Amino acid sequence: MGKRIVCFGDSNTWGYDAVTNGRFPDDVRWTGILKKLLGENYTIIEEGLCGRTTVLEDPLNEGMNGLKYLNPCLMSHSEIDYLVIMLGTNDCKQRYALTAKNIADGLKRLIIKAKETPAWAKKPQILVVAPAPIEPECEQSPVAGEMGICSEKSRALAKEMKLCAKELGCDFFDAEQIGTMNQIDHMHLDKESHARLAEALASMIRERV
């Protein structure tokens, strides 16, 4: 059986395409490209949900709390070898009123829970991916009413998440290095960024697993 990699995220892992208001095809999503790049010795498991947060209950939408779903998710896919977490974008929504540090603290709770879950083939190995920042234009885009004021907070996430990853012994990647947003809602990765993200993560995963 190939090495099992769980990719736990939100709409940018689910593959939301703002141009069509639908989902990118398998061979366009970063998870699908990652599967192709890594080959048959790896099993890539998509666990993306639009709207998912690190640890927050959404008062408007059911089931968005990543912490509550994490244990059954990992156990259902066990035994796993590597966990990729890319969350935090939705935590930036104005209605949650959090700081970037608060969001990173939520991520810390996720990581600790993941490590304690008896779903690992060997020792826990986790990669924290700081999401590419939301652009300021999002706040005047079609999703402005949903997101509110969010871009400045989003840009501060990578610094806090890097500290969190270091503290807990996780790998870290800042998706701002490769990410460009679509020019409609300015908060979802464009097609080209999915490919670049997959290439970057494939290199890291080959070194670790």
- pTM here is 0.97
Q: Is 79 helix (H, G, I), strand (E, B) or coil?
A: coil
- The answer, yes or no, to whether residue 175 has pLDDT greater than 70, is yes
Residue with tokens 């990173």: 104
Across the beta sheet with 171-174, what order do the strands follow?
42-48, 3-9, 82-86, 126-130, 171-174
Q: For residues 165 and 172, is the Cβ–Cβ distance under 8 A?
A: yes
Q: Residue 186 carries which side chain, given as an amino acid letter?
A: H
pLDDT given at position 132 = 97
Q: For the residues of 90-153, what is the DSSP string, one character each?
A: GGGSGGG---HHHHHHHHHHHHHHHHHSTTBSSS--EEEEEPPPPPGGGGGSTTHHHH-S-HHH
Q: What is the mean pLDDT of residues 140-144?
A: 95
User: What does the pLDDT read at residue 179?
Assistant: 84
Q: How many structural domains is the chain composed of? A: 1
Residues 151, 155, 158, 163: is their CA dihedral positive or negative? negative
Instruction: Give the C-alpha separation, 139 to 169, whole Å.
Output: 35
CATH number at residue 111: 3.40.50.1110
* β pairing state of 82-86 and 3-9: parallel
pLDDT value for 2: 86
Asked if pLDDT for residue 1 goes beyond 90, the answer is: no
Which are the contacts of 116, defined by CB distance < 8 A and separation ≥ 6?
none
- pLDDT tens-digit map of 94-134: 999 999 999 999 999 999 999 999 999 999 999 999 999 99
Range of the domain at 11: 3-208
Answer for the pair 125, 71: CB distance below 8 angstroms, yes or no: no
